[in-house]
Chain A
Amino acid sequence: MSAESLLVILSGIPWTLAITAGAFTMGAILGIPLCAMRVSRSWLLRSMAIVIVLILRSVPPIVWLFLLYFGIGSGFFQVGPMQASIVALGLITGANLSEIYRGALKSIHPGQWEASHALNMPRWSVFIDIMVPQLVRVILPSATSYIIGLLKDSAIASTVGVTEIAFQANFISRRHFQGLEVFAVAGLFYILISLPVAAVARYSDGVLRAKVAR
């Protein structure tokens, strides 16, 4: 394969990373209110959260993407391919992360809240000093493996013309009729990007979890 082809595929990496990071950030933030609704005392909020999460998770990512890009994006709003990809994956990520957050909340022993209250700790401190550090330790391993999944899902952005890794690989393979090599290289890139993320996952799972294990 020519150096030029390799460079073209390489040029897709920033887009792949941008979609992954953008969608994850959006989902990480969106997951917080969704999780808060899901565990709220209000019956209405809880049901709304259940329905939203169900809808977001049952529709395939590519359908969300087409809905945003060709559906909404071609009508009243102008939605670019990049925005549509980030928002589509971000919405789904939000739903999934809200469930991961909820699981983490449940994993915190109720005695932690009781002790904090009995000690009279201010509410902000209970959240920042006691809950967040424990939640992060529980969430980090699942969140990092979710990021790896998201990295691969970002390839669907190629269907609406975002020039990320899969798009460029497709482009090159059609131009030079060398599918096997090109897609093998693209696959290799995905693996290389996943490695550091997987390392973080392993580290967080081992070291951090050991600390909070009861």
Chain B
Amino acid sequence: MSWVTQTLASSLGRKVIMSLTGLFLCTFLIVHVAGNLQLFKADGGRAFNEYSFFMTHNPVIMTVSYLLYTSIVVHAIMALLLTRHNQASRPVKYAYARPEANSPWSSRNMGILGTVLLIFIVIHMRTFWYTMHFGPIPMAEYDGKEYKDLYKIVLEAFSNWWYVLFYVIAMAALSYHLVHGFKSGFQTLGLRHKKYTPLIEFLGVWVFSILIPALFAAMPVYFFLKHVGVIG
């Protein structure tokens, strides 16, 4: 297997791991945002709770979720290795540099943006994932069947102004991470062609850096405004 380890340890190989895990996380975001849109349904949380039950009991989804946790960890470890390697490649810094003249800010700060995302992921999973799996969590009953009432946990969490603010900031970081990351992931794999690169760039901007972060951010904002009575 020497050629495999050799490939994965090379600078290009590490970037491929970064790209594959990153793009996998991007596909997850689509599922996650679509499912969570059920929070906006005015049914007291029934659709959302039934959906949460399905997501935590379906064997295929449970398998994919372990792949997801692994991807986050591998992506973060590779990010650390790459960032350290890249910093070591320039031991003496320039006294005066103007990187803004030749490259976008987001492309130069993927590590900082990613760190914000990592902190967010840990806190986010503590609030919802951990409570869902290990409680304590209130129960709801629909048609004689008991469901964990994750909806109530969501309501509670998003009644805190600082928690809501933190979510909005994290989604801004996600937006900047993906405005560069989505298209960069394809470049790393060598997938660049005048036929489809414009589509990749379009999706990267409009779907992954605008639509998805905006929908995610709308959830805490919506529940907070409901909580303070601005909307019904």
A and B are interacting partners: no
